[in-house]
Amino acid sequence: MLKIVVALGGNALGNTPQEQLELVRQTAKPIVDLVAAGHQVVLAHGNGPQVGMINLAMQYAAEAGANTPEMPFPECGAMSQGYIGYHLQNALREELVRRGLRKPVAAISTQVIVSEEDQAFQTPTKPIGSFYSEDRAKRLELDKGWSMVEDAGRGWRRVVPSPKPLDIVEKESIMKLVEANHLVIAVGGGGIPVVKDGEKLLGVAAVIDKDFASAKLAELIDADYLIILTAVDKVAINFGKSDEKWLDELDLNMTHQYICEGHFAPGSMLPKIQAAIQFASSKPGRKTLITSLERAIDGIEGRTGTLIKA
């Protein structure tokens, strides 16, 4: 039996609650395949489209004079954890029951500690929310202290930092549930980013990469495997070129070499590879598998995927 953290992308969950409700029923099947094979599973997920939708809706309501307060970004992240977790735990429970598997499912609202000293706070990069004219963007910078950037000719958008995760506040609760044979959903959207202020935890307007948060979670609960799910069955070098090569297995040295050679796109595969390295190098014997959702069980059994290990 393996202890596995599975990192599911937010885009795999659709763009509306109705679409998500349908998609999670399909998502549940390969996750439950891992459970049926006897493994302990913790599911992490992204929330990019979902938290953007919530942030945009709350912003519009506040600006329209609907007597709705503007919602801080950490609270929007918490809202997305709640409704994605609700959909996932119901879909997983339904699939477990359908197969005659008795396993409780629990979604944990998860806070992830970051450092105020993280350099990401000096250079925000993650776009969120509405598109604005340049004049409106400049006013928002003055009035609200937002960082605004021009986004590919489509207008100006707010950007927030993407700091690295240092610790997970609810890690003991997650570990206890795993030990009690629960299927746990945690660090949704990379977790709610918080900084320490004495005995307090304060939410900050930031986005933690869900793959890095998943790697940190896998490390803290002493998982054997981190599975990072993506749109392809394997990682490739020279992707999309005539000499494209799909990779079955990588050691850490070769992985670093391919990073230095620029094979992995910064906004796409690179953070997955970096998170894979982070977990695989954290303790002897730990492995990261990068593959597609539908092939997760095949990957664990060695039939597909890219395996990264020390």
Q: Which tokens in the block code for residue 134?
A: 């340049």
Buried b / exposed e over 83-96, threshold 16 CB at 10 Å, is: bbbebbbbbbbebb
Say whether 10 is catalytic: yes
Choosing from 11, 144, 238, 302, the catalytic residue is 11
Look up 126 and say whether it is catalytic: yes
**Rounded Cα distance, 215 and 227, in Å:** 9
Nearest to 156 by CA among 195, 127, 194, 185: 127
Catalytic residue among 210, 216, 234, 309: 210
Q: What are the helix and strand counts (H, E) for the chain?
A: 9, 17
Residue 116: CB atoms within 10 Å: 11
List the catalytic residue out of 171, 234, 272, 287.
Answer: 272
Residue 272 designated active-site: yes
Query: How far apart are alpha carbons 239 and 230 in whole angstroms?
Result: 14
Is-catalytic flag, 200? no
Counted residue by residue, the chain has a size of 310
Question: 11: closest CA among 1, 22, 20?
Answer: 20
CA pair distance 194, 74, nearest whole angstrom: 8
Residues 9, 10, 48, 190: which is the catalytic one?
Answer: 10
**Known catalytic membership, residue 3:** no
Q: How far apart, in Å, do the first and last CA atoms of the chain sit? A: 21
Catalytic residue among 3, 29, 103, 126: 126
Residues 168 and 166: their CA atoms lie apart, in Å, by 7
Please report, to the nearest 10 degrees, the dihedral formed by the alpha carbons of residues 256, 261, 263, 266 taken in order: 80
Catalytic residue ranges: 10-11, 126, 210, 272
